[in-house]
Amino acid sequence: MITLRKANDRGHAEHGWLDSWHSFSFADYHDPAHMGVGNLRVINEDRIQPGTGFGTHGHRDMEIVSYVLDGALAHQDSMGNGKPGGTNAGVIRPGDVQRMSAGTGVLHSEFNHSREQATHFLQIWILPRHRGIEPGYEQKHFDAASKRGQLRLVASPDGAEGSVTIHADASIRAGLFDGDEAAEQPLTRGRLTYVHVARGALGVNGQRLGAGDAVALRDEALLRLSQGEAAEVLVFDLAPH
């Protein structure tokens, strides 16, 4: 079964400094029919204007993944990341994947690191396998060549293939597709698959998707991606929840 989620059907919030599209219910947007897919709870497509951002706020018991499409996102948190002398610089740019495990509680802020252009990124929340874990942070870079015409594992429960480690029964793959580039991915029975086209256009199992469109797949044996037009795509393998 394939369920289509069109970009313009998502929730939308315009705050001047922030333009945000919500794939699932979030903040003031509530739709009982779209509360998430499996253990995936949030995909927000955010555009932050230069010199602005999210002030310090808290999270608990959530795996939060940030994926930058354009610009640069500066992160600071109560674990010391992004601060002078901290473990990590905390700035992520296109090709970077950042994972923050909120666990027992963490405070953080996110700002547009560029003074010239908007930062365009995806904010992703996945329910953790266990509550009350120690907060943690990780960021890694995945170059375009590793995603060109294929699905590169960028997040997984065990850090396989150099991916970031998320403390959840889920994985994320990223791919770039244009022209004749195509890929197939066998799907595991009993799992859920969610395909989100971040930009461009792409054929997904015979459906034509544009930027912001997505499909949820259940009881499908194979994922087929083809006929891309400058497409960037994220593919989620998820536990039913």
Could you tell me the CATH number of the domain that includes residue 147? Answer: 2.60.120.10
Distance CA 137, CA 144 (A): 23
Distance CA 108, CA 193 (A): 30
Q: What residues make up the domain containing 69?
A: 2-238
Residue 91 CB coordination number (10 Å): 18
Overall pTM > 0.85: yes
Tens digit of each residue's pLDDT (9 = 90 or more) over 36-90: 999 999 999 999 999 887 888 888 999 999 999 999 988 887 787 777 766 667 7
pLDDT of residue 80: 77
Tens digit of each residue's pLDDT (9 = 90 or more) over 187-225: 999 999 999 999 999 999 999 999 999 999 999 999 999
pLDDT of residue 85: 65
Distance CA 87, CA 193 (A): 34
CA distances to 126, 134, 222 from 101, in Å: 10, 8, 31
Number of domains making up the chain: 1
